[in-house]
Chain A
Amino acid sequence: MAQVNRKQLLDCALCPNMCRCECPVVQAWGKEAVSPSGKSRLAHLLLEGRLSWSEEFLEALSACVGCRGCQTLCPFPELDLAEELLAARQEASQAGVCLHQVAPYLGNLKKFGSPYGQGRGLAPAGERGAAVLYFAGCTAAANNPQSVETALALLEKAGVSYQTLDEFCCGYPAEIWGDLELARQLAADNRERFAASGARTLVTGCPECRWTFTRRYGAWGIELPLEVVDSTTFFLGLIREGRLQPRPVQGIDTVTYHDPCLRARLEEDWERPRELLGLIPGLTLVEAASSKEKVRCCGGGQMAQLTFPALAETMARRRLAELPAVSAALTDCPFCRESLLVGGGTVMELTELLGRACIER
């Protein structure tokens, strides 16, 4: 089990919440308990045994989207509050406390390998043994299968030999919901399946899956037998090689790009999506009021749409208010796309736009 760094947590708890302006959760919800230091104080008292675990305490500690907005202002260089809260949630799980809203999703995960339930994952396709394995992730597969079909069509168009598997969850939801044992089990299963596939490169359009594969599996003692690449980088390479040739997209001239928190803050990559957009003719990119490393979470982080739907919607509306008026808002995260759809505007993943630029006439 991951250990909470008590010293780091206490530093945060003793701070007057100097980062709270960049915590989209407390700014959207207004509850003191979910402010960054509010959560640290609560976690400290729980871990010190001054309070006993309960669902309401766990709920406050779970109200973090992992966006690291707090870290942009944090004076403690080693503190990663989102990480400490993940570890604290595992303590809650060990104490037998679980959020009622999480329980059905965890049940699905254990039973079907997807938080969304049976038959919602990706089906095997493509060429068995192909070097490229496309991994859609649970949310794109369940809620936006068109984007997955588009990604596969782009691979075909570029002449890439690929395969897909009967996908199991990467383990990310299990970890954020406190069940590290399940997360590790899923990771071990995935390792076996990826190894058996014979693929050398895994391409995924989901930042959370990518984060888990690249930053978590190693910490859990699981070494993947293939390279993990995000779909934007992969498609960008295909464009550069001339294997995909984008044309202007009818009806879309101005766009904005919403940076997924994990990509912008933890992978520090906000240039490649913009580079890809720059290679689609006829597009003008208009930046949001806060973007790149200063992006504010849209409510999609840590699957808040499932566990805190009202909060996620408020966060999405606050984020939408920061986006300029354009013909389409783009992102490259299935969770961000879902969040931003609450405004009723055109929201697409980069892959979907690229599909229209390369495949449709």
Chain B
Amino acid sequence: MSSLPETTIQETNLSKQESSQLLQQLRTLLGDDNVSAAAVDRLAACRDYWPMGTLWFLEGKAPALPDLVVWPRSTEEVAAVLTLARKHGVPVTPYGEGSGALGGVIPLRGGIVLDMKRMNRVRHLDRENLLVTVECGLNGALYEEYLNRQGFTGGHVPQSIRCSTVGGWLACRAAGQFSTRYGKIEDIVASLKAVLPDGTIFQGRPVPRSSTGPRLDHLFLGSEGTLGVITEAVLRIWPLPEKQALLSYAFATLEAALEAIRRVIHSGARPAVVRLYDYVETSHHFPETKEAEGRCMLVLISEGHSDIVAAEAKIIDAYAREHGAVACGPEPVKHWLERRFNVSLASTLFRQGAVVDTIEVSANWSNAASLYHAMQEALLKVEGTALASGHWSHVYPDGAALYFTLCGFPPGDKADYYKQLWEAAMTSCLALEGAISHHHGIGLHRGLWMDQEHGPGLEVLKRIKKALDPDGIMNPGKMGLEEALRWRK
């Protein structure tokens, strides 16, 4: 057996004997090629894109290692694995493509990592009802490519689309860059199939709506593998837009821009993309747009039927000018479209010793500007923080998402700095009644603030968890449903 790195927050592992027995049983169920106890596979499944995982990697350490990695090929195989795991009280952590930003897939208590990537087929395209049935291990970009080739779009383009799966989108309640028109994943999903921790298969029905009790499919959205494993979904799709309008405006203040956006949305217009950058991000992303110098850039894309696009463009332009904006044309939008998946600077900064992260929250319009200022001030107060810039996106009639990009060079211990940074962000967000996450989810780290986010309401989620997963085998230690002991310290 090859050597493996030291772990930092591992709580437990199976004994060698338990692991070996489970390996044999899983091989019988799934075949030798779909189960591994090899160091190379255990190491690869130990982390996601959570910055602490990255920082530990740079120290040659792993957060926590699973004992086994399993690749199911069907919902029934997932059910078989969960049945076996429950029988033996073995933890199970579902894994997609590891793009999560909060440590949600770290197997804190070892056990089985259920890698969903071999469930990657498109099962059915329903052109009449604009629905597609897909397995959850399918890569997002390949899903969108498939739809585009058929003349459709899935309307869901998170920055991680190239490195995330459909199942990951559902499990963390994701939002895409074009969400103001197409909706978030909870609007896009028509139904889903999930396996409960006892092996029971839940199958929702892809109806447009129902009044038949709480929408059970939605129970699994954002559950991050703590309630079961999402294996398949029916998603809504759209014909490829016949027309796109690329618009951009530079505003003198954030407040003026936010007000213009609010008015646009209240008018009934639904541009697909709405992104408002603060002064720092405007100068970073759009240095070539002279009109935007010392201003805040708003980029928008309206798309769909040409009549609707023309009307939306007119409405947007009127409100933007009314709020003192200077029109900057399509070039800044094209620039954003070209650069929107480039996260290379984070690699470079990590390599140079920085701590880099992003924090996304949401707020009502009434708090939007004050939340930005309060969070930025709190973040910059943490010693070592070099940058805390923000942008708004994902717009609703009642508010928007606020997304901070952070970079710091900690004077002392990086983990301490990281925790201080988040404490500042979460505390200031909660004080102004923002939601502590808009679309990245909770994972391991943000679980530290789940009780403050939900108050007594968290008990409801804990009871659901207890009812569905009484032995606590599903992704233990996550979402603040129980203490993540070693990380809390």
* Chain A residues at the B interface, C-beta cutoff of 8 Å: 7, 10-22, 26-27, 30-33, 35, 38, 41-42, 45, 48, 50-52, 54, 56-57, 59-60, 73, 75-76, 289, 310
Q: Which of B349-364 contact A (CB under 8 A)?
A: 350-351
Q: Is B342 an interface residue (CB 8 A)?
A: yes
Whether A45 and B115, one on each chain, are in contact in the complex, defined by CB atoms closer than 8 angstroms, is no
Whether B60 and A17, one on each chain, are in contact in the complex, defined by CB atoms closer than 8 angstroms, is no
How far, in whole Å, are A33 and B97 apart by their CA atoms in the complex? 11
Q: Write out the residue numbers on chain A whose beta carbons fall within 8 Å of the beta carbon of B71.
A: 30-31
Known interface pairs A31-B117, A32-B115; 17 further A-B residue pairs with C-beta atoms within 8 A, sorted by A's residue number: A11-B347, A12-B347, A13-B57, A20-B139, A30-B118, A41-B44, A42-B40, A45-B5, A45-B57, A50-B5, A50-B60, A51-B5, A52-B2, A56-B40, A57-B39, A73-B341, A76-B344
How far, in whole Å, are A33 and B118 apart by their CA atoms in the complex? 14
How far, in whole Å, are A35 and B38 apart by their CA atoms in the complex? 16
Q: Write out the residue numbers on chain B whose beta carbons fall within 8 Å of the beta carbon of A13.
A: 57
Whether B5 and A17, one on each chain, are in contact in the complex, defined by CB atoms closer than 8 angstroms, is no
Whether A16 and B45, one on each chain, are in contact in the complex, defined by CB atoms closer than 8 angstroms, is no
Across the interface, B44 reaches (CB within 8 A) one of A18, A22, A33, A48, namely A33
Q: Is B376 an interface residue (CB 8 A)?
A: no
Shortest CB-to-CB span from B157 to chain A, Å, is: 13
Q: Write out the residue numbers on chain A whose beta carbons fall within 8 Å of the beta carbon of B69.
A: 32
Q: If the complex has contacts A45-B60, A75-B343, are A54 and B43 also in contact, measured as CB distance less than 8 A?
A: no
Q: If the complex has contacts A27-B139, A27-B142, are A32 and B41 also in contact, measured as CB distance less than 8 A?
A: yes
Q: Is B99 an interface residue (CB 8 A)?
A: yes
How far, in whole Å, are A11 and B350 apart by their CA atoms in the complex? 9
Shortest CB-to-CB span from B305 to chain A, Å, is: 27
Q: Is B153 an interface residue (CB 8 A)?
A: no
Across the interface, B2 reaches (CB within 8 A) one of A31, A54, A76, namely A54
Whether A11 and B40, one on each chain, are in contact in the complex, defined by CB atoms closer than 8 angstroms, is no
Residue interface bits B424-454, CB-to-A below 8 A is 1, else 0: 0000000000000000000000000000000
Nearest to B146 among chain A residues (CB) is A289
Residue interface bits B126-151, CB-to-A below 8 A is 1, else 0: 00000000000101111000000100
Q: Write out the residue numbers on chain A whose beta carbons fall within 8 Å of the beta carbon of B54.
A: 14
Q: If the complex has contacts A52-B2, A73-B162, are A21 and B351 also in contact, measured as CB distance less than 8 A?
A: no
Shortest CB-to-CB span from B197 to chain A, Å, is: 23
Whether B162 and A19, one on each chain, are in contact in the complex, defined by CB atoms closer than 8 angstroms, is yes
Question: Which 5 residue pairs of A and B lie closest in terms of their CB atoms, listed nearest first?
Answer: A30-B117, A50-B60, A75-B344, A33-B44, A21-B141
Whether B343 and A15, one on each chain, are in contact in the complex, defined by CB atoms closer than 8 angstroms, is yes
Nearest to A34 among chain B residues (CB) is B44
How far, in whole Å, are A21 and B97 apart by their CA atoms in the complex? 10
Q: Write out the residue numbers on chain B whose beta carbons fall within 8 Å of the beta carbon of A52.
A: 2-3
How far, in whole Å, are A15 and B142 apart by their CA atoms in the complex? 19
What are 8 A-B contacts defined by CB distance under 8 Å? A11-B344, A15-B344, A19-B163, A33-B40, A51-B4, A59-B40, A60-B40, A73-B162
Nearest to A53 among chain B residues (CB) is B2
Whether A17 and B347, one on each chain, are in contact in the complex, defined by CB atoms closer than 8 angstroms, is no
Q: Is B418 an interface residue (CB 8 A)?
A: no
Whether B98 and A30, one on each chain, are in contact in the complex, defined by CB atoms closer than 8 angstroms, is no
How far, in whole Å, are A289 and B351 apart by their CA atoms in the complex? 38
Whether A31 and B39, one on each chain, are in contact in the complex, defined by CB atoms closer than 8 angstroms, is no
Shortest CB-to-CB span from A279 to chain B, Å, is: 30
Whether A42 and B99, one on each chain, are in contact in the complex, defined by CB atoms closer than 8 angstroms, is no
Which of A12, A15, A16, A19 is the most central at the interface, judged by chain B CB atoms within 10 Å of its CB? A16
Q: Write out the residue numbers on chain A whose beta carbons fall within 8 Å of the beta carbon of B40.
A: 33, 42, 56-57, 59-60
Whether B38 and A56, one on each chain, are in contact in the complex, defined by CB atoms closer than 8 angstroms, is yes
Q: Which of B1-31 contact A (CB under 8 A)?
A: 2-5
Q: If the complex has contacts A52-B3, A57-B2, are A20 and B44 also in contact, measured as CB distance less than 8 A?
A: no
Q: If the complex has contacts A51-B5, A75-B344, are A18 and B351 also in contact, measured as CB distance less than 8 A?
A: no
How far, in whole Å, are A33 and B4 apart by their CA atoms in the complex? 14
Q: Write out the residue numbers on chain A whose beta carbons fall within 8 Å of the beta carbon of B118.
A: 30
Across the interface, B162 reaches (CB within 8 A) one of A10, A18, A54, A76, namely A18
Nearest to B339 among chain A residues (CB) is A75
Nearest to A12 among chain B residues (CB) is B347
How far, in whole Å, are A349 and B192 apart by their CA atoms in the complex? 45
Q: If the complex has contacts A15-B343, A54-B2, are A21 and B38 also in contact, measured as CB distance less than 8 A?
A: no
Q: Which of B151-195 contact A (CB under 8 A)?
A: 160-163
Nearest to B4 among chain A residues (CB) is A51
Nearest to A310 among chain B residues (CB) is B33
Whether A32 and B3, one on each chain, are in contact in the complex, defined by CB atoms closer than 8 angstroms, is no
Q: Is B49 an interface residue (CB 8 A)?
A: yes
Whether A14 and B350, one on each chain, are in contact in the complex, defined by CB atoms closer than 8 angstroms, is yes
Shortest CB-to-CB span from B64 to chain A, Å, is: 15
Shortest CB-to-CB span from A60 to chain B, Å, is: 5
Q: Write out the residue numbers on chain A whose beta carbons fall within 8 Å of the beta carbon of B346.
A: 14-15
